[in-house]
A = this chain, B = another copy of it.
Amino acid sequence: MSVEARRDQLIEIGLRAFTEQPYHEVSIDAIAREAGISRGLLFHYFSTKHQFYVAVIRRASRELLAYTFADVSGKPIERLHAGLRAYFRFIDERSLVYSGLMRGGVGVDPEVQELLEATRCIIRDRIVAELGELPATEAAMLRTTVRGWIGLVEAIGFEWLEHRDVSHEHLVAIAVRALQALVPDARMLWE
C-alpha cells in the first residue's frame, strides 16, 4: 500500500472510531489491528494519538464542507435549506466528534481550534460570496454578520445535541429566519 493510501485508510478507520467513542476511549492499538498493521507502524504515520486525532478532524472538516455545499442546483434559498439540513444531519451522525470538539477536552488544543476556525472562515467566505454584491453593505459588516450567523447555527446545533427536543426542520427555520433578517437585501434575490 502506498504511504498516501495507508494514511487514508487509517484516517477512515479513525473517523469511524472517534464517531463511535469519545477521545479517551479510542484505542490506537485497536485501530492498528483493524488496519492490519503494527502499533509501531501507525506511529510512523502519526507521531502521537493527538496528531492522529488532528488528521481525523481535518478529514471530518473537509467532509462537512463537501456535505453542506453538495447541492449546487436549484435556487439559492433551496440550496440554503439543503445545506442547513445537511449540516444538522452531519452533526447528528458525528455527534460524539462534534460535542467533543465543542466541549473541549483532552483532544482540543490550539491546533484543533485553529482548524475549526479555518473551517468556519471557509464557510463564512463561501456564504459571503453566495450572497453576492449587496447595496450599501460594507464588506467588514457583512463578514461580521455572516460569522455571527455561523455562530448561531453552531449554537442551535449544539443545543439540539444536548436536548434533541426540536426537529431539524425547526433548526433550519431558525437559521433561515436569522439570515433573512440579517441580510435583508439578499432576501429578495432568493425568493
Interface segment, one of A6-14, A41-49, A56-64, A104-112: A104-112
A171 within 8 A of B: yes
Partner of A156, one of B147, B155, B163, B174: B147
* Shortest distance between the CB of A105 and any CB in chain B (Å): 5
A145 within 8 A of B: yes
The CB with the most chain B CB atoms within 10 A, among A141, A143, A145, is that of: A145
Residues of B within 8 A of A154 (CB): 151, 155
Residues of B within 8 A of A166 (CB): 138, 140-141, 144
A178–B113 alpha-carbon span in the complex (Å): 26
A interface vs B, CB < 8 Å?
A: 102-106, 108-110, 112-114, 117, 138, 140-141, 143-145, 147-156, 158-160, 163, 165-166, 170-171, 174-175, 177-178, 180-182
- Mind listing 22 A-B residue pairs with CB under 8 Å? A102-B113, A104-B104, A104-B109, A104-B112, A138-B166, A140-B163, A141-B170, A143-B159, A144-B166, A144-B171, A145-B156, A145-B174, A147-B158, A147-B159, A148-B159, A148-B175, A149-B152, A149-B155, A150-B155, A174-B182, A178-B181, A178-B182
